[in-house]
C-alpha cells in the first residue's frame, strides 16, 4: 500500500509544468524515505532529478518500494482537474498497475478521483558525484526565467560569466549582442530578491539556451534558483520545493571550438 | 413596429455565446408576450429553447407577430460592438427585412446603430411535453462548466448518477477513469453555491460530452444550473436569465449497448 | 557621439508598437534638435512621421547628425527585454554601424545592454505642407481604437462625417451597416474623455479601414487623438507623446466612384 497526501495540489501541478517539456514519461520511485524521479530528457542531453521527502507530506505511507511508470501528458491532464486549494492524495496498491489521484475540496463537498494506468519503463540510475563548484550563484527565479526568455531572442547559446562583482549572462546572434549584468546585492530586505555569488574562482561557460528555457519553467516552484558551475562539469540548476524537497537539472557546458 | 429595450446589453452577448456553437442561424419569434427561439442544433441532436418574457424588458412593443431569421455569426459581430453597460434596443418595422440594434452609452454621448439583414429560415416547432423527472439536480453553473471541461479529457461520454447523497459525474477512456462527486449541501450561506438533489428515484444516464460542453457555455447567464433527468427521456439543462426568462437545452441519453 | 536617455523605457516600447505593423525598417534621424522618423508604409499608401524633441529627454547629446537605419523587428525584440520602469539609454559613436540600447533598473542592480547592427536605407524626405483643415476632431484615443475595431467587421472603408453636433463613423458591408455617433461633449471633468469638434465646414470622407486600424495602435501613447480633415487632402491622425513630441499618420481619402 502506497499513500501520500499533500495539503495543496498546486505543488504537483507546478512540478509537472517543470518537467513535461523535457520528459514524455518518467518513473516515480516511491520508498519509505519519499518519492524520487531521475531521468534524462527525451534528447538525452540534460538530466532531471526530483526529490520529495516523505516528512514533507501531510501523510505518507509506503509499505513496499514501488516504481510507477507514468505518462506525463496523462498525469498533466489529471492534475489540471485539481483545484489549487484541493488536498491531493496519491494511492496505489502493492504491485498495482494503476495509481489513483484523489482531490478533495476544503469542506469535503467535492471529491474527485482519477485512476490512471501505469506503464513499464526501462531506466538506469546515474550516479551524480558530489562536487565542489567554482561558483554558486543564487538569483530570483523570476529573474532567471526572464533572462533566459530575453536572451533566447539573440542566440542559441547563453554565456554565464561569474565574478566577485556579480554574474553576467550574454548571447550573440544575427541581430547583435546582448549582455545582462546582475550585481551582487549588498543587503536586501527580502531574501528572495537577493543576488548572491559564492565564488572560489571566476568561471565563464556556455550553455544551450533551449535547455535553460526549459529549466526556467520550474520558477513557479521557488522564489530562488541556484546555479552551480565549474569548468568542464555540468551546470546544476536547483529549485527548492517548499519544505518538501527540490528539483535539479544538470546540463553540460557547450564546448566552443572557435572562440572562448 | 417591434421595439425591445434592455438596460444592459451584456445579457444578449451572453445569450449569443450560449447558442452560437450549436446554431449557425436561428429564428427569433417576437410576439406580444416576448421573444422565443427554438431550434435543433446543426447536427440535429440537441434542442435549444430560449424564452425572454416581454415584462422582463425595460420597454417592449410588438404590434404584429414577427419572425426574424438571423445569422448568429453576424449578430455576434454586432453584439461585440456593444459596451457591457450600454442600453440595447432592438427595432424592426412590420414585415421588415432588416433589424436594427441600437447601443447607447449611459450619458447618451455615444450612440451606435447596426442594421442587419434578416434571412428566411425554414423551421418547425417541436412540442415539448411537460414531464415529471425522476431527479432534478441544481448545482452552481461554474461547477457544471468545470466538470464538463475536466471530464472531456477522459472520454466522449459523461455518466451522471444521482442518489440521495448527491450527484456523481464519471468518464472513462484511454488514460483511465474519472469520478467527480458533489455532496448535497446541508445549509449554505449563498444559495448559488448550493448543491440540491430532488429525487423520486435514483438515475444513472450517459450523455455525449461534446453537447454538455456546449450547454455549459451558458454558465455566465446564471449562477445555478438545473439538470432534470428521467430514464429514456431527454435531459433538460436549464439556466435562468435574471428576471427575464431562461434558456433550456434538451439532450437524449446515450443508449449503451455493451455495458450499463 | 550620440546619447539619449529616457527615464522610462515604455515610451519607446509603445512607439515601436505604433509603427511596426506599417514599417519593417526605418531611419531614425538624430540631430541637435531631437530624433525624427519619416517613412511611407510598406505599401506606400500612408505616411508615418515621428518627432521626439531633444529637450524631452532626460539627457541628450548629438555631436554630429546621425541617420540610423534600423530593422524594426530586431529593435522590437530588444525593447521587449526592457522592464517598463527601466531607464533607457541609446548610444552610438559618430559614423558607427551599431547602436547600443542600455536598460538600467531603478537601483542599478540590473544593467543590460544590447548592441544592434545598423542598416543602410534609401529614403527621401517628403515635404508636408501646413494646411488649414476644415475639421479637427479630438476624441479619446481608446474610443478611436474601439471604433476602428468595431467597424472593421462591417466593411473595408470607414466614413468619417463631421458636423457641429459631433462626429459619425460609418461602415457598410455584407452583414449590414453600422453607424457610431459621438456627440461633442459640453463640459467634461477629464479633458482626456472630451469629444471636441473644431469645424470650419462639414466634411464627410472615406478612409481605408485597415490603415486606421494600424494608426490606432498608437493609442497607448496618448489619451487623446486628433483627426484633421479637409476635402481632397490627406487625413492627419496625431497622438501627442507626453512632453517629448508626437506621432502623426497621413492617409489620403478614398475616391468613391459609385456612391457619395
Every domain of chain C and the residues it spans: 2-117, 135-251
Contacts of A112 in chain B (CB under 8 A): 150, 178-181
Confidence of residue A108 (pLDDT cuts 50, 70, 90): confident
Confidence of residue C186 (pLDDT cuts 50, 70, 90): confident
Please indicate whether, in this complex, the C-beta atoms of B81 and C150 are within 8 angstroms of each other. Answer: yes
* Cβ-based neighbour number of residue B74 at 10 Å: 19
The ipTM is 0.90
Question: CA of A176 to nearest chain C CA: how many angstroms apart?
Answer: 5
Q: Is B81 on the interface with A (CB under 8 A)?
A: no
B177-186, C63-72, C121-130: least confident range: C121-130
**Per-residue cell: B65:** 407577430
DSSP state of C33: T
Does the pLDDT of residue C44 top 80, yes or no?
yes
Does the pLDDT of residue C112 top 80, yes or no?
yes
Please indicate whether, in this complex, the C-beta atoms of B110 and C183 are within 8 angstroms of each other. Answer: yes
Q: Estimate to the nearest angstrom the gap between the alpha carbon of C34 and the chain centroid.
A: 17
pLDDT (mean) for A137-164? 96
Mean of the per-residue pLDDT values of chain A: 93
Contact in structure between C11 and C239 (CB atoms under 8 Å): no
H or E element: which one contains A14?
A: helix A10-19
Contact in structure between A19 and A102 (CB atoms under 8 Å): no
Contacts of A110 in chain B (CB under 8 A): 143, 180-183
Confidence of residue A166 (pLDDT cuts 50, 70, 90): very high
Q: How far apart are CA C108 and CA A181, in angstroms?
A: 10
Does the pLDDT of residue C145 top 80, yes or no?
yes
- For chain A, how many residues are written? 260
Query: Coil, strand, or helix at residue C192?
Result: helix
**Per-residue cell: B102:** 441600437
DSSP state of A151: H
pLDDT tens per residue across span A211-243: 999 999 999 999 999 999 999 999 999 999 988
Edge to edge, the sheet with strand C196-199 lists C66-71, C25-31, C34-40, C47-53, C245-251, C233-241, C224-230, C135-140, C196-199
Q: Is C69 on the interface with A (CB under 8 A)?
A: no
Q: How far apart are CA B227 and CA B222, in angstroms?
A: 14
Architecture of domain A135-251: Box (3.70)
Contacts of B158 in chain A (CB under 8 A): none
Does the pLDDT of residue A201 top 90, yes or no?
yes
Please indicate whether, in this complex, the C-beta atoms of C183 and B109 are within 8 angstroms of each other. Answer: yes
Confidence of residue A127 (pLDDT cuts 50, 70, 90): confident
Work out the angle at residue C176's Cα, subtended by the Cα atoms of residues C175 and C177, and round it to the nearest 5 degrees: 135
Contact in structure between A19 and A72 (CB atoms under 8 Å): yes
Q: Which of B161, B246, B249 is nearest to B205 (CA)?
A: B161
- Chains touching C, CB cut-off 8 Å, 3+ pairs: A, B
Q: Which of C51, C60, C50 is nearest to C7 (CA)?
A: C60
pLDDT tens per residue across span A39-97: 999 889 999 999 999 999 999 999 999 999 999 999 999 999 999 889 999 999 988 89
Output the CA–CA distances (angstroms, integers) from residue B194 to A14, A68, A103, B134, C144, in the order listed: 31, 38, 20, 20, 45
Contacts of C102 in chain A (CB under 8 A): none
Given B153, B177, B182, which is nearest A109 (Cβ)?
Answer: B182
What does the pLDDT read at residue B257? 58
Contacts of A70 in chain B (CB under 8 A): none
* Equal CATH topology for A2-117 and A135-251: yes
Q: Which of C186, C249, C182, C198 is nearest to C221 (CA)?
A: C249
Q: Is A192 on the interface with B (CB under 8 A)?
A: no
Residues sharing a CB contact under 8 Å with residue C22, sequence separation 6 or more, in sequence order: C41, C42, C46, C48, C214
What does the pLDDT read at residue C124? 72
Best probe of the B interface among C176, C184, C195, by most B CBs < 10 A, is C176
What does the pLDDT read at residue C260? 40
H or E element: which one contains C216?
A: none
Per-residue pLDDT of chain B in tens (260 residues, 90 and over written 9): 999 999 989 999 999 999 999 999 999 999 999 999 999 998 899 999 999 999 999 999 999 999 999 999 999 999 999 998 899 999 999 888 999 999 999 888 899 999 999 998 887 777 888 889 999 999 999 999 999 999 999 999 999 999 988 999 999 999 999 999 999 987 777 777 899 999 999 999 999 999 999 999 999 999 999 999 999 999 999 999 988 999 999 999 998 655 44
Query: Coil, strand, or helix at residue A62?
Result: strand
Given B175, B180, B185, which is nearest A112 (Cβ)?
Answer: B180
Cell 526568455: give the residue.
A149
**Per-residue cell: A150:** 530575453
Q: Which of B25, B39, B24, B33 is nearest to B4 (CA)?
A: B33
Dihedral class, residue C34 (left if φ above 0, else alpha if ψ from -120 to 50, else beta): left
DSSP state of A219: G
Does the pLDDT of residue C130 top 90, yes or no?
no
Residues sharing a CB contact under 8 Å with residue B215, sequence separation 6 or more, in sequence order: B46, B148, B237, B249, B251
HEC string for C48-99 = EEEEEEHHHCCEEEECCCEEEEEEHHHHHHHHHCCCCCCEEEEEECCCCCEE
To the nearest 10°, report the CA torsion of B16, B19, B21, B25: -90
pLDDT (mean) for A178-202? 89
Given C112, C116, C117, which is nearest A179 (Cβ)?
Answer: C112
For domain A2-117, the CATH class is alpha beta
Q: How far apart are CA C145 and CA C158, in angstroms?
A: 13
What does the pLDDT read at residue C175? 92
Q: Is C108 on the interface with A (CB under 8 A)?
A: yes
Residues sharing a CB contact under 8 Å with residue C10, sequence separation 6 or more, in sequence order: C82, C84, C85
What does the pLDDT read at residue B260? 40
Dihedral class, residue B163 (left if φ above 0, else alpha if ψ from -120 to 50, else beta): beta
Q: Which of B167, B162, B159 is nearest to B133 (CA)?
A: B162
Instruction: Give the N- to C-terminal CA distance of chain B in Å, as an integer.
Output: 55
Please indicate whether, in this complex, the C-beta atoms of C114 and A176 are within 8 angstroms of each other. Answer: yes
Work out the angle at residue A112's Cα, subtended by the Cα atoms of residues A108 and A115, and round it to the nearest 5 degrees: 145
Given C71, C81, C115, which is nearest A177 (Cβ)?
Answer: C115
Q: How far apart are CA C246 and CA C14, in angstroms?
A: 12
What does the pLDDT read at residue A187? 72
Does the pLDDT of residue A260 top 50, yes or no?
no
Q: Read out DSSP for C118-163?
A: -B-----PPP------SEEEEEEHHHHHHHHHHHHTT-SEEEEEE-
* Cβ-based neighbour number of residue C153 at 10 Å: 18
Q: How far apart are CA B75 and CA B98, in angstroms?
A: 12
Given C154, C176, C178, which is nearest B98 (Cβ)?
Answer: C176
Please indicate whether, in this complex, the C-beta atoms of C179 and B112 are within 8 angstroms of each other. Answer: yes
Contacts of A185 in chain C (CB under 8 A): 109
Given C150, C176, C181, which is nearest B111 (Cβ)?
Answer: C181
A10-14, A125-129, C208-212: least confident range: A125-129
H or E element: which one contains A238?
A: strand A233-241
pLDDT (mean) for C74-101? 94
Please indicate whether, in this complex, the C-beta atoms of C178 and B110 are within 8 angstroms of each other. Answer: no
Query: Coil, strand, or helix at residue B189?
Result: coil
Residues sharing a CB contact under 8 Å with residue C194, sequence separation 6 or more, in sequence order: C138, C140, C185, C188, C224
H or E element: which one contains C17?
A: helix C10-19
How many A-C residue pairs are in contact by the CB < 8 A criterion? 48
The nearest alpha carbon in chain A to C109 belongs to A183
pLDDT (mean) for C229-254? 95
Q: Is C188 on the interface with B (CB under 8 A)?
A: no
How many helices and strands (H and E) does chain B possess? 4, 18
Amino acid at each position: 500500500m502506497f499513500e501520500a497526501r499533500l495539503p495543496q495540489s498546486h505543488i504537483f501541478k507546478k512540478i509537472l509544468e517543470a518537467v513535461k517539456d523535457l520528459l514524455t514519461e518518467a518513473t516515480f520511485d516511491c520508498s519509505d524515505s519519499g518519492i524520487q524521479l531521475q531521468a534524462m530528457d527525451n534528447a538525452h542531453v540534460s538530466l532531471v532529478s526530483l526529490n520529495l521527502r516523505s516528512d514533507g507530506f501531510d501523510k505518507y505511507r509506503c509499505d513496499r518500494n514501488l516504481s510507477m511508470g507514468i505518462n506525463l501528458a496523462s498525469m498533466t491532464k489529471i492534475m489540471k482537474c485539481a483545484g489549487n486549494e484541493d488536498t491531493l492524495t496519491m494511492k496505489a496498491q502493492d504491485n498495482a498497475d494503476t495509481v489513483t489521484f484523489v482531490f478533495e475540496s476544503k469542506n469535503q463537498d467535492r471529491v474527485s478521483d482519477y485512476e490512471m494506468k501505469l506503464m513499464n519503463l526501462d531506466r538506469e540510475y546515474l550516479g551524480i558525484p558530489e562536487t565542489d563548484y567554482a561558483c554558486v550563484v543564487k538569483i530570483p527565479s523570476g529573474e532567471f526565467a526572464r533572462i533566459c526568455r530575453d536572451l533566447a531572442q539573440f542566440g542559441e547559446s547563453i554565456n554565464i560569466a561569474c565574478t566577485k562583482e556579480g554574474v553576467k549572462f550574454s548571447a550573440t546572434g544575427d541581430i547583435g549582442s546582448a549582455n545582462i549584468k546582475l550585481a551582487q546585492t549588498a543587503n536586501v530586505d527580502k531574501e528572495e530578491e537577493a543576488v548572491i555569488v559564492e565564488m572560489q574562482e571566476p568561471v565563464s561557460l556556455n550553455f544551450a539556451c533551449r535547455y535553460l528555457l526549459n529549466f526556467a519553467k520550474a520558477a513557479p516552484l521557488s522564489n530562488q534558483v541556484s546555479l552551480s558551475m565549474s569548468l568542464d562539469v555540468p551546470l546544476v540548476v536547483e529549485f527548492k520545493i517548499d519544505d518538501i524537497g527540490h528539483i535539479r537539472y544538470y546540463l553540460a557546458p557547450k564546448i566552443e571550438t572557435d572562440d572562448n
